[in-house]
Structure 1
């Protein structure tokens, strides 16, 4: 596997591998990622690399803030349909 053979991996790749292998992101801190990568692949990560991998994993699972805001109008419409009487107002620049 790529992680085991390369000397260095990008935090984005480490985050994706972590999600693929572990499958959870809630309650995870950078130290969990560093320990997991050490146990699974013998890969030593600094706190900064672990933090960046965690951020990449969170983005991979949850999406970006921009994605969330792009879906906001649709979400408000579905909320209004599901709950008649709900008042929604979205103002865009």
Structure 2
């Protein structure tokens, strides 16, 4: 039997050994019960959450590192989706590395599909929860079947005049072309 308190590293090792692919393993709340049964140790939800994150990070890159591959991903996205409009804004940090600021994305199919929609656009902003701060701005239309049709997305620092101006400046670069 392990110590009365198992560290998140121990829990992560048990988690990886039992499930192989931690992404498909149990949620943190279920992991608490597993730790109690397997190790006979009580653990907090946060410790199990951190252990699960460590196990997943061992299999795939961390969320922080995934931002480093964003320019390459967007390049391939644009190649695979002709007519796609992408605007990625970064700034150099103290170490000379690019730091993510803003992202605008409108798929070519959405731009072309706008011609067949009712010409009403709904824009909204939401604050996704989680580790990363920021705001997701969206523009959507409505098709003839009254279904929501996504037109454009942007990830910005906050919902303010500057970010909305930047969003609409990107939007205005292609929406007149999309009209019949």
- When normalised by structure 2's length, the TM-score is 0.40
Q: Secondary structure at the match of 1:38?
A: helix
Q: Which residue of 1 aligns with 2:9?
A: 12
1:16/1:60 contact within 8 Å kept: no
Q: Distance in 1 between matches of 2:23 and 2:75?
A: 29
Q: Which residue of 1 aligns with 2:51?
A: 53
Q: Distance in 2 between matches of 1:48 and 1:14?
A: 12
Q: Secondary structure at the match of 1:71?
A: helix
The count of aligned residue pairs is 89
> Superposition pairs for residues 11-30 of structure 1, below 5 Å?
11-22=8-19, 23-25=21-23, 28-30=26-28
Q: Distance in 1 between matches of 2:22 and 2:28?
A: 13
2:22/2:59 contact within 8 Å kept: no
Is 1:87 equivalent to 2:123 in the alignment?
A: no
Q: Which has the higher strand share?
A: 2
Q: Return 5+ residue gaps in structure 1 as ranges.
A: none
- Rg larger in 1 or in 2? 2
Q: Which has the higher helix share?
A: 1
Q: Distance in 2 between matches of 1:50 and 1:66?
A: 20
Question: Which one has more relative contact order, counting CA pairs under 8 Å at least 6 apart?
Answer: 1
> Superposition pairs for residues 31-70 of structure 1, below 5 Å?
31-70=29-68
Q: Distance in 2 between matches of 1:64 and 1:24?
A: 13
Q: 1:80/1:13 Cα in 2 relative to 1: closer, same or farther (>3 Å)?
A: farther
Instruction: Output one character per residue of 1:32-73: Cα deviation in whole Å (capped at 9) or x when no partner.
Output: 112112222333323332232233234344532221110100
Q: Secondary structure at the match of 1:88?
A: strand
Q: C-alpha root-mean-square deviation of aligned residues, in Å?
A: 2.6
